[in-house]
Each structure stands twice: as structure tokens, then as C-alpha cells.
Amino acid sequence: METQLLAKESARAAIVEMGHTLIAKNLVAGSWGNISCRIDEQSIAITPSGRGYELLEPEDVVLIDREGAVLEGKRIPSSELKVHTAIYNAYPEAGAVIHTHSIYASALSAMHQDVPAIIEDIVQIIGGRVYCAEYALCGTQELADKTVAALRGRKAALLANHGAVCWGKNLQEALLVAEILEKAAQIAVICAGTGGKVYELSTEDADIMHDFYEKHYSKRQQGEE
């Protein structure tokens, strides 16, 4: 599935709609978390700082470049823009980034624990075990650098004592990654609570399933195969 870019106004509208979706799915609350998507090779649309998703309008969405400089918009861009631009610069195939504060992913991040590869959909879609980035203050370049280091080729990472960040080739895939991550985190917490042994999928099997998803299944989801 190719990275799917949106025109400027379409991107702004899509981000507003995605904000409503994240609220409805309990992946964020209030104005916490943030959303962005690429418009072209040099420009990115991103949510503003401190604006609740229920009140968000397309004109509130800010346009920035790949270094984080504001290109267009009347509001201050998200304080986590460094994390977003770092991911786009590290992963050229990324078309959208979503930062969530979902409950179970945040619980594991508070314990500085990874999300183990214990269910097939996390390896198919995200690529395997999701690692927890070392703690750094929000809004800093240090957090951006540690986030990229924790991704390790995956489509998601936990942010210690903070939440999670997910990317996809478009907003819908980034949302799917966020949902699957939260599901896997919840299962991991449940398993830990029972005290039973957890069997993690092998790296070899994870690589096979993720490769099949990237090359075939994701295309079938989009009607391309």
C-alpha cells in the first residue's frame, strides 16, 4: 500500500474527523495526544496545542515543514511536533502519525514495559514486539530521538510515563495501529494479572506474518489486490 497524501484542506478536515474518532474510541481525552499527516514531501498538517478535539475546526490545524517550522496557521502547533517530524524523517513511507494516551498502553509505559508479541495482529500490522522508549520530557528533541530509537522498524512505540505513538501510510492505518496496540497492551496486562505464562511469537514467525501483511493483506483491505 503506497503512502496516501492528501491535499491541504482535505488533510485539515481529515485530522479533525480523526480527533473525533480518537475521542469516541477512548484513545485520547480532552486536548491530549496529537495527530498529523503529510501533505507532500515537505509539508505536514498537525493538530494545534491545547485545543480540545470536540472544538477543533479545520482552520485550527497548523501546517509545518519537516523541521517543525510553521508554514501556515493561526494557532501554535502541537508541543510534540518534534516526535512527529522525527518519525517522518526516519520513515519516508509514513503518511500519518497519531500519539495516544490510551489506558492499557499508558499502563505499560508507566511500568517501562514493552508490549510483547503475543497475538498475531500486533505482529502482522505493527511488526512485532513494541518497545518502550526511555523517559524524556514531553516536547523535547530528546523525546523525539528516544522515540525513533525505540521504534526499531516497528509502526509503534510506547513513551515511558506518557502514552504511545503510532504511524501508518495514511491516517486510517495509523488509527488501526493505535487500536491494535491498545488491544495487545490490554491482553498483556490481563495475562500478567493472571500470573500465567505468556508465550511470545517467534521473531521468524513475526517477520513472515508482517511481510505478508505489508505485501498482500493491507492491499486487499484497500481493494488493491
**Contact assessment for residue 171 and residue 4, using Cβ atoms and an 8 Å cutoff:** no
In which element (H, E) is residue 174 found? helix 171-194
Per-position pLDDT tens, the chain of length 225? 456 677 899 999 999 999 999 999 999 987 789 999 999 999 999 999 988 899 999 999 999 999 999 999 999 999 999 999 999 999 999 999 999 999 999 999 999 999 999 999 999 999 999 999 999 999 999 999 999 999 999 999 999 999 999 999 999 999 999 999 999 999 999 999 998 788 999 889 888 998 898 888 777 777 777
Give the pLDDT of residue 2: 54
pLDDT at 1: 47
Residue 4 pLDDT = 60
Kindly list the distances between the CA atom of residue 25 and the CA atoms of 19, 175, 176, in Å, as whole numbers in the listed order: 10, 10, 11
Q: What is the DSSP string of 105-135?
A: HHHHHHTT--B---SHHHHHHT-SPBPEEPP
Query: Catalytic residue numbers?
Result: 80
Supply the pLDDT for residue 56.
94
Question: Does CATH number 3.40.225.10 belong to domain 8-221?
Answer: yes
Degrees, nearest 5: CA angle 220-17-7? 75
The full set of domain ranges for the chain reads 8-221
**Residue 43 in contact with residue 75, Cβ under 8 Å?**
no
pLDDT of residue 214: 83
Give residue 220's pLDDT: 77
Burial 178-187 (b: 16+ CB within 10 A, else e): bbbbbbbbbb
